[in-house]
Amino acid sequence: MISSYTIVVKSLGKNLVIKLNVGGKIFLTTLTTLLNEKDTFFTNYFSDRFKPSCEVDGSYFIDRNYKYFEYILDHLRGKDLSKIVEEFTPGQLDDFAQEVAFYQIRSMYKLFNIKVLKRLKKLGVYLDEINTMPMFDANYCSNNATIIGNYKVKKHGITGWNCCILATHSEHFQIKLINKCEHLMVGMATKKVNLNGCNYNSCGWYYQAYRGNLFSQDGQQEAPFFNSPSYKPGTIIEVILKDNTLSFKVNHKDIGVAFRSLPNHDVLFPAFELFDQHCEFEFVDLDE
């Protein structure tokens, strides 16, 4: 079956220069660029179902603010917008995200942090296919731990540094401590971890709940940092990986940057070392 926008492409020509009037400003691009991604505003707009008609000047009118439209086009042209988006204020980021949602460019959602995605979801944007929290990875879970419903984990093995677990990729997440988390290590690591062994001095960068000290493969061993216990049930530990630095918050209090000059973010994953038997904690939404 031929899709409705394939019919339009044949009638208009895929290399046709398209003139778009977005909120009063003219943009020029090609039909191929606009149809670079499936199931977007543009694949519906330029379809046999919608049957778009142009204005007297040959433009196609879209009744939206044009402020961020150039970035929408640049993304469809293949440009990496991550550095540009990092410079946006929180208000600009929210406005930009709403434009991305209107045009239904789902590949752009990766530009936004979890808080922005959750705000979009509250506005009715369909994000069910996008996880706004990381999940524990069953492929990188110690034999001494059990994953409960994707977002919770509990250690069932004997006490000792014999239990490590990674989660799916996330650069900003938080956990809630449930039980026996005195010596829990929370941080980031590569997939080279020893799942049934000790990693805090050989693979990864960690904050320990017991005294708020730091451990890492770079030589930190009980390095003073927060200098306060943070292991009581109900405690929230937040982890933020940004610009190759790793920082933490405890119960929403910013306790600062713990590690600098970390590797490329793409190779790092949420990592946890569980020491105490029955240690249990879970991922929670950043809004909690």
Per-residue model confidence as pLDDT tens digits over 243-283: 999 999 999 999 999 999 999 888 999 999 999 999 999 99
Cα(130)–Cα(59) distance, integer angstroms: 34
Query: Backbone phi, then psi, for 33, in 5-degree steps?
Result: -60, -45
Task: Grade residue 162 by pLDDT with cuts at 50, 70 and 90.
Answer: very high
- Is the pLDDT at 1 greater than 60, yes or no? no
Q: Which among 38, 172, 162 has a CA at the least distance from the CA of 118?
A: 172
Strands (E), the chain: 17-22, 25-30, 60-62, 136-141, 145-148, 152-155, 164-167, 172-179, 185-189, 205-208, 214-216, 221-223, 236-242, 245-250, 253-259, 269-273, 280-284
Q: Which among 233, 226, 200, 192 has a CA at the least distance from the CA of 211?
A: 226
The pLDDT assigned to 7 comes to: 46
* pLDDT tens per residue across span 60-103: 999 999 999 999 999 999 999 988 998 999 899 999 999 999 99
Residue 234 zone, left/alpha/beta (φ > 0; ψ -120 to 50; rest)? left
3-state secondary structure of 137: strand
> Residues 74, 81: contact at Cβ < 8 Å?
yes
Cα(259)–Cα(50) distance, integer angstroms: 53
End-to-end CA distance of the chain: 47
- Is the pLDDT at 4 greater than 70, yes or no? no
* pLDDT tens per residue across span 106-153: 889 888 877 788 788 777 777 655 656 888 999 999 999 999 998 999
* pLDDT tens per residue across span 10-58: 556 556 899 999 999 999 999 999 999 988 999 988 887 777 788 999 9
> Residues 161, 273: contact at Cβ < 8 Å?
yes
Cα(144)–Cα(164) distance, integer angstroms: 8
Task: Grade residue 8 by pLDDT with cuts at 50, 70 and 90.
Answer: low
Tokens of 211: 């005294």
| pTM of structure | 0.62
Cα(211)–Cα(120) distance, integer angstroms: 38
In sequence order, what are the beta bridge partners of 259? Answer: 246
Task: Grade residue 173 by pLDDT with cuts at 50, 70 and 90.
Answer: very high
Instruction: List CB contacts of 53: < 8 A, sequence separation 6 or more.
Output: none
Q: Which among 114, 113, 34 has a CA at the least distance from the CA of 69?
A: 34
The pLDDT assigned to 10 comes to: 55
